[in-house]
Structures are given as structure tokens and as C-alpha cells.
Structure 1
Amino acid sequence: MTKRIVWLLAAFLLLAGVVFYVTILENTSDVDTAGTNVQLPVVSYVTARTSANTGRISVFAEVRPRWSVELSAQVSGKVLAVSLMALEGRKVSAGEVMAQLEQHTYESQLENAKYQQATAEFNLMKKQNKNLLAVKNWRAVNPKEKPSEMAVHIPELRVAEKSLKAAKQKVVVAQYDLDAASIKAPFSGFITKRHVSIGQNVSVGDTLFTLLDAEQLDITVSLDEHQWNLLEKVWQEVPAKIYNAEQELVGLAKVRRGGGFLDPQSRRYQLFLEVINTLERKVLPGEFVSVELQSMEIKNSLKLPATSLTQKGYIWYLNDQDELQRFNASVVFRDNASIIVSAPPDITLASELRVVNLPMAAYLPGMRITPRHAGRKP
């Protein structure tokens, strides 16, 4: 019995020692925790204000020459010469002679037409003199009576006038045929195909050259309804920018007209642009380009870095207590560098917002952080 009491007493003493030791450890842990500062995660942010922002509507399109023609012969004849500037790939100027047909037949026809015109002019002079004499004689005999047309040869005079008019038109036609024997470029452009050779006999309608306009270039872009509604309606004031495949600015274009109908195949709006001719223009006909059109002002919106948008479509920002908050972004415009989103209803107009520019997937609403402006060094 005495042994049992001794063992119980020893057990109580041991238990008391363990409790005392644990109590000392807890007090030490509380002191250590109280003396250590909690390290909050550092979050980089950018500032943005709600305002009226304009975006860019980017669409792909093909640059087309305004004029493209298969130049054909207007008269027949033998090809005497082809200009060295009229070879494939060469650029010709408007009015430049590209090929020469034999002209002797057309020179003869022109001279014959001029002879007929001179004869008609002479006959008209005779009829006019005959009319004057007849009128003078009539007045001498019958001063108070009006002569009939036949009496003073008016019908003969009218026939002579029409004969002269027809002769003049024959001269014009003969001159046109003679000029058509010299094949000239109707506009400045590039020769993409030559279909004629020296010594070849050509007939009316035979294709001689394929010519592509190099000066006046047009672009037709296709917009869906959303893009059309966002487009700046004062087209003439803001030119569109043209970028090549390497995203280099190669030219500007002005909008000539658009809307009014939908394309029957795509059911999209069509916008017609004209490339502005400048010394810096590097746009080529047939090139596929990216056309940037300015949008109308998007009121009560935020312009943010593209990196601020998460994969789930959230924008994270900081409240006044440096706590993380988020909203589901309605993206209006997007490009490689930035986005424009509609401001949430609880953000007042022109208020400054601290937006997280590189959000993490582990963020939670209400999480306290250490903010750091993206433009400042750590």
C-alpha cells in the first residue's frame, strides 16, 4: 500500500513538471510571435482614372489598285515597235507610248477626211452666196413679201451645213484612229503582262498589255456590327493607319464612304478607304495589311495594361486599406499592349484606381498586401 502511494505521488510530481514545462514553452512562443512582424506580399500596381478613352479597331484587308486594265488594240495593224519601258515589271507614266502600230492607212484616211471637209466648206460657201443673191433679188422685186425657203435656196443651205458637220466628224474619227495606232498608257502604273511582240499583226480588241495602277490605291475593310457601332463617325477628320505584316507603319488612308448596305456573303458592313499619297508611303498594290481605325470615345472607361487582365477575365485593384479587390472586366478594346474596359458601377468618374498590373492566381478578395508602384524601384 505504501509503495502504491509512493508511485502515485511520483506520477503527480512528474505530471506537474510536464505541465510547468509546457507552460514555459507557450509563454516563450507568445513572446517570439509578438516580437516578429508579419511579412505581407508585395504587389506592383499602376494608377488609372476613369475617363473617356478612344481605342483602335484593327482589321485585315488587301490593298487594291483603283484601276486595272487589259489594254487592247482600238485599231488593227502591224506592230512596228515596242518601248523598252513597256516590258513586264516596268513602270510607265500616263500618256507614255508603249507600242507603235503601222500608221500609213490611218494617215491616208485622215487626209481624205480633211479633203472632204474642205470640199464641204467650199460647197457651203457657194450655197451661202447663192442664198444671199436669191434674197437680194427677191427683195428687189417683192420688197414687202417674205420669200419661201425654196425661192432663196434654204434647203440647199441646210444640206450643205449638215454635209460640213459630217465631214468634220469624219476628220475627228480619222484622227482618233491615227492616234490609236500609238498605244499609250491610260494611267501611271506597272505592266504585269505583255501580250504583243514586234512584227505581230493585231486586230481590234486584241489584248496588248495588262496594266496595274500604282498611284491610286484603295482598301475595302469589313466590320461586324459591334465594330461598326464603335467606329468614329466623323471619318474625314481622323485618317486610318496602315501597318504591314511586321507591324510597321507604311501609310495612311482616308475613309471615302461606308455603310448603307451589308455584304451579301458576310453580312458585314463595308468601309471604303483611299490610300493617301505621301513621300513616306510604302504601301504596294496587292499587299495584305492591318488597318487601324479610331473608335468613338468610350465614356466612363479605364485604359489599362493588357497584363492586368487575368485569364478568368478579372481586374484586381487595391482599396484604401491596401486590400485586394476585383471586378469582372467588360473589355471594349484590346491590343498587344493595352486594353480599354468599362469602369464598374461603384467607381466614380475621374477617380483614381490602383490596378494590379501583374495579378497572381493565388490572390483572394480582402487579402492585405504591401503596395508598390510599378514605376518605382524597390
Structure 2
Amino acid sequence: MTEPVDIKDAGNNDGQERKTSPLRRLIWIVTALVVLSAVVLFLMSAEDTVDVKQATAPPPLQQVSVETRPMGEETVEISAFAEVMPRWSAQLRAAVSGRVQDVMESALVGERVETGTALIAIEDSRYVAELRAAELALKQARLELRRAQNANILAEKEHERNNVAPANDLALRLPQLEIAQSAVTSAEARVAAAMQQLDDATVEAPFSGFVTQRLVSPGQTVNIGDPLVKLVDDRKFELTVEVSGRDWSLLRKPLAGRTADILDQNGMNIAKATVRKAGGFLDETTRQYKVFLEVDEPGAGTVLSGDFVQVVLPGITLPSVLNIPASALTKEGDVWFLDEEDRLQRMKPSVLFRRGNRIVIEPDGSAESWRVAVTPLVSFLPGQQVRPVATGN
């Protein structure tokens, strides 16, 4: 037989187990917190066992590249940029009206032409007829002049034969003679005008150069004043340079007639220019002096119209200045140098002019020789002790 179960005892055991389970969890949590606290305390109390030795030697001095430059004479060179402009640039227009009969190959864009080269031909039959009519009128006027001269001679002889003084000019036919002479002069002028019109029917290059624009085609009708082609000079060029009042004072006077160097964008000397005029007035906008130069017959391809070049004008000779690398000048306009104790010092000199990668300055001091920092750093401080390293001049 199955033994009876004591329901009351079973219920008491389950309740006891439920009471002991939270207690166990609490014990484990407290134990974990105690262990974690012990580990943290151990790490905080641990000390770095690495030996630290205090350095007794001073840190090495900063090296500074310097260039030793003496004070000396320098000839000023004033540089300025200018655009190369052709001396002659013309848009040739029609001097007569009519139909364009022919456009020569020389009138095409890009062609180089010499003085007197035919470019455009306008139909000229009307101007040929006007010339012939003017020539006929001239012949008739000359015939009338001969008749008037003959009448004057006959009148003078008649008065001489009769031994009678002429009453007035009419008796000698002088007014008729003067009118006939004026008629001949007028007819000759009409012939010259007709010949000029006939010549204008053929448009020719007034100077040598390049055709840069063509505005007409064969068969097109043009009137007086209509544009035909544009021609620019390729043998004589002009440049206009503007300089400030300070640079003007450094130029060699008189400037007119002196030679200036023309440099390309790479700094290469490509031509020589002659100063035509200089100064005399200031530009109304920039308030600077203007220098006008001209270039005659440059080498082929060296100077081109529209090019942007650098012009180097001759200046005076300064007796006591300093020639240093351009890299020695900071953005703030300062130059760093070393004194006798190898300490950094700073000055703000007056920059006179530039020559390539070097500049000529007027230093703030009277020393005979200067040790200039070639590449100044932002970290430089006045009075800082450094170790100079000489560079080649």
C-alpha cells in the first residue's frame, strides 16, 4: 500500500528553499563588490617602478641657416609689368561704296602682309568712268586757258601797235585769263580726286603686320565707312609702365632714351626697349608716373602683341645697402639676423627693389656686416640663443 504524504511538511520545505535563495544571491553580490574594491585599491596604490633620471645637460641649441652679407653698392633695378601693344593697329574701312569683287588670300585671318599688299578689291567701273570724265573736263579747261592766253596776247599787241594804253584789265582780257587758269586748277583737282577714289577701290595694307579679323566676303555690298579687315603691326611695339613715386625717385634721370630689359614670364631676357617719354604727369586713377617705351624690330617670335612681360628700368647706384635672399623676408616684412652673441634679433627694413630671388634692403642699423637668417621660422623669438650654420652666398 502506498504511504500517505504529509502535505503540511512538503509545503514547509518549499517555503524554506524560497527564503534561502535570495540570501545566497545577496552574499554573492557582496562578495563580488568586496573583491572589486580590493582590486581597485591595489591598482591605485601601485607605483611606477621605472627609474627617472634628471638630465643635467642643457638641451641643444636650435640650428639656424645664416648668410653673411657685407654692406655695399648696388645699382637699382625697378621692375614693372606691362602689356605689349602694337604701335599701329587699324580696322581698315571702305573709302568707297560698291560690291566686293574679290577678297585676296592675304586678307584671311592669320596672314602676314607687307606694306602695300592688296587685300580687298571693290568693283571700280563707276570710278573709272568718273576718272575719264574728269580727265576730259581737264582737257577742255586747258583748251579754254590757251584761248584766253591767246586773246590776252592779241590784245596786248594791238595796244602796242596803236600806241594806246589799255583802259582797264578787260581791254587785255585778263579776267578771262584768270578764270581759265582757275578752271584748269579745279579740273586738275577733280582728276586727282577721281584717281584717289579709283585707288581706294583696292584696299591695301598701310603697314606690315598680321590680319586679325576679316569682316567681308566676295559679292557683299559695302558703303563708305564699313569695316573690312583689322590689321595689327608686328615690327614696332609699345609698352606703358606705371611706377610709384618712391620707385620714380630711384630711377636714373633723364630717363628718356635709356634702354630697358624685357623679360618673359620665365624671367628670360627676350628684347631691349627704349624709353621714349617718361613722367610729366600722373595717372588720374592710380596717381603713378607713366613711362612709355618702344621696341623696334625685335627678334622673330620673341615679342608678340598682347603678351604680358616684365620691364626692368635702369636706376641709380646706392652706396650702402644690403643684398639678401628673398626668403629672408617674412610675410610681416621682418628680417631676422644674429648679433655678436648668436642671439636672434629682428628688424623691419626698407625693401628697395628685387632682383630675381634676391632683394636689396636698407637695414635698420649701421653694421658693416650682417648674418641674416635665410629661412626664418614662426617660432623665432628676439634674444633667443641659436647655433648658426653658414650657407653659401
TM-score by shorter chain over 0.5:
yes
The superposition leaves residues 135-177 of structure 1 with CA deviations (integer Å, 9 ceiling, x where unpaired) of 122122236x465211101100100000000010011001001
Is 1:88–1:191's contact at 8 Å kept on the other side of the alignment?
A: yes
What residue identity is the alignment partner of 1:189? G
Q: Distance in 2 between matches of 1:162 and 1:237?
A: 50
> Percent identity over the alignment?
34
Secondary structure of 2:225's partner? coil
Distance 1:191 1:281, change over 3 A: closer
Secondary structure of 1:126's partner? helix
- Map of 1:6-85 to 2, 5 A cutoff? 45-85=66-106
1:298 CA drift (Å)? 2.7
The residue that corresponds to 1:374 in the other structure is 392
Q: What 5-or-longer segments of structure 2 have no aligned partner?
A: 1-55
TM-score by length of 1: 0.77
The residue that corresponds to 1:245 in the other structure is 265
Secondary structure of 2:145's partner? helix
Is 1:244–1:250's contact at 8 Å kept on the other side of the alignment?
A: yes
Q: State which of 197, 200, 223 in structure 2 corresponds to 1:203.
A: 223
The superposition leaves residues 279-316 of structure 1 with CA deviations (integer Å, 9 ceiling, x where unpaired) of 26612112222222233223321222223445661342
1:184 CA drift (Å)? 0.8
The residue that corresponds to 1:8 in the other structure is none
Distance 1:365 1:336, change over 3 A: farther
Q: Cα RMSD between the aligned structures? A: 3.0
Residues 177-186 or 203-212, more deviating: 203-212
The residue that corresponds to 1:19 in the other structure is none
**Aligned: 1:137 with 2:193:** no
Q: State which of 137, 141, 148 in structure 2 corresponds to 1:120.
A: 141
Is 2:96–2:223's contact at 8 Å kept on the other side of the alignment?
A: yes
Q: Distance in 1 between matches of 2:121 and 2:386?
A: 86
1:46 CA drift (Å)? 4.2
1:235 CA drift (Å)? 2.2
Q: What 5-or-longer segments of structure 1 have no aligned partner?
A: 1-28, 34-38
The residue that corresponds to 1:91 in the other structure is 112
Secondary structure of 1:122's partner? helix
What residue identity is the alignment partner of 1:108? A
Residues 156-165 or 183-192, more deviating: 183-192
The residue that corresponds to 2:312 in the other structure is 292
What residue identity is the alignment partner of 1:133? L
Q: Distance in 2 between matches of 1:246 and 1:368?
A: 37
Kindly name which structure, 1 or 2, has the bigger radius of gyration based on alpha carbons: 2
Q: Distance in 1 between matches of 2:195 and 2:133?
A: 11
Q: Distance in 2 between matches of 1:363 and 1:266?
A: 39
1:79 CA drift (Å)? 1.6
What residue identity is the alignment partner of 2:155? A
Residues 122-131 or 294-303, more deviating: 294-303
TM-score by length of 2: 0.75
The residue that corresponds to 1:278 in the other structure is 298
Secondary structure of 1:155's partner? helix
Is 2:335–2:347's contact at 8 Å kept on the other side of the alignment?
A: yes
Q: Distance in 1 between matches of 2:117 and 2:90?
A: 16
**Aligned: 1:330 with 2:350:** yes
